[in-house]
Amino acid sequence: MKTLLTEAEIHTGVLNLAQRLSHRYGDTPLTIVGVLTGSLVFMADLIRQLHMPLRVGLVQASSYRGAVTEHGELAINTSWLPQIEGRHVLLIDDIFDTGHTLAAMIGELTARHPASLASAVLLSKQGRAEVALRPDYSVFDIPDAFVVGYGLDYNDQYRNLPYVAEMEPADLEQGKSEVPNDE
């Protein structure tokens, strides 16, 4: 794997985003909604840098399962989502790729009538967007590559890396061979 973003670069990027959010929201109470599972590391680091009153909720959205690099059908579970009607909400996700997940999540949250809704992602892949919508905040732009680390996984591995790395084709092939046969 090739390192794209070091631990120090990510830390600096998260601090910069926290400063921008603090400027925007000030002391206004904010509900942070993280998209499971990839955003957990990013969200945890970010909320420790914010000082306004916070509530945290989670939603599960997944279009990747197992050792695949192509999107499947998007499944959304909002059972861990707190009441957001009339509240200022920040949706946090790990990566903006085609944009379908972010668009679907914004639709889900908008239907619940928040006072305001903004979105933030750690990574935006260049040249992959298939929707007109863009995140309100993006910490890093990255090339069109399959990345892992800092919460992002491949075949449920690598989330714990403190940096973001690009998986090489050989890494992806090896990961596919490690998938258990369900037959």
Active site residue ranges? 97
Are 101 and 93 contacting, i.e. CB atoms less than 8 angstroms apart? yes
| H or E stretch covering 175 | helix 169-177
Q: What share of the chain is helix, strand, coil (3-state, %, to 5)?
A: 25, 30, 45
Taking alpha carbons only, the member of 67, 112, 60, 59 closest to residue 86 is 112
User: At which residue do the structure tokens 């490690």 appear?
Assistant: 178
Q: Beta strands 30-36 and 116-125: pairing type?
A: unpaired
Angle between helices 40-47 and 7-25 (to 10 degrees): 60
28 to 13, 70, 73: CA distances (angstroms)? 23, 39, 36
Are 118 and 134 contacting, i.e. CB atoms less than 8 angstroms apart? no
